Chain A
Amino acid sequence: MTTMTTPLALPFEVSFDGPGLWYATRATGLVALLLLTLCVTLGVLTTVRFTSPKWPRFVTVGLHSNTSLLTTVFLALHILTTVADSYTDIRLSDAFLPFAANYRPVWLGLGTVASDLLIALIVTSLVRVRMGHRSWRAIHWLAYVSWPVAMVHAFGTGTDPSTVWVSALALVCLGTVLAASAWRLLTGWPDRKGLRLAAATSVAAVVLAGWGWASSGPLAPGWSKRALAPVTHASTVWSS
């Protein structure tokens, strides 16, 4: 047992053994997903030029930047609690190099891909003024990839998506991003019907594929074995 008691005699113990960190991983992951959803939506609202007398455009841009920074804060906490937790031996390198972990490698790896994409989006945006608009814009399209990848990661790795309230939350996120994407497709590229139709078709295909995967995979019984989790699951270890 590696329970550390601090010399300052805090009223609690700092432990890397109990389920505490694992709960923190799940909670911060969900908050990161909510914030990422908000972030994508605000980005779309900027591009479609949403505004109203009570909502000037700079509010949308400002919130978009700030939620993206807040997303990285929760993402960092999500990663640090994952690595610090002693139940799995997920390494810090697994947070940057995808598909090398020994815990649900594919689904954790998709989280890593989403996180790498997010880092690229944030870093380029921080130097946007120096980088120039064109190359920044090209990279910023990756935002539309990071969201679904993070969503699949959440379902493939997460403990909670099978609960009613988390699937409800995921549905709300999906609905929000779909509504935003629809708005984007309806207002953008007015002279390129074929392109918009192709984009709408691929969105629909991704949603259907994701839906089919989620209902036959993570939401069906026996997922932890098929996802290649270690033999004992967190809930059986600490349920006493």
Chain B
Amino acid sequence: MRYRLRVNPITCEAHGMCAELLGEIIDLDPWGYPILGSDAVPPDLVGHAERAVVSCPTLALILDRSSHARARA
């Protein structure tokens, strides 16, 4: 199983919750919008990523999981 993180730039409203909960991967730009360090989520951070996803007020943070290694290459 592979986990990939992405942000929907249209619905993201720069609440910044995701950067608080997943600082290992997500930084905020000067306007408070998230910048992903990498879109692949290492296994030990999957729990934190899931929590960030459900905490995003606009559901703009999306965690895709795929069992195929190159599903969305």
Residues of A within 8 A of B (CB): 46-47, 49, 56-58, 61-62, 128-129, 132-133, 136
Contacts and interface: CB of A to CB of B under 8 A. Distances in A.
Contacts of A129: 53-54, 59
Contacts, number: 26
Q: Is the interface of A mostly helix, strand, loop or mixed?
A: helix
Interface residues of B, number: 12
A57 B20 contact: yes
B36 interface: no
Nearest to A133: B59
Interface stretch (B10-18, B39-47, B65-73): B10-18
A137 to B, nearest CB: 8
B55 A62 contact: yes
B21 interface: yes
A57 B16 contact: yes
Nearest to B16: A57
Given A49-B15, A129-B53, A133-B11, A56 B20 contact: yes
Contact of B57 (A46, A56, A62, A132): A46
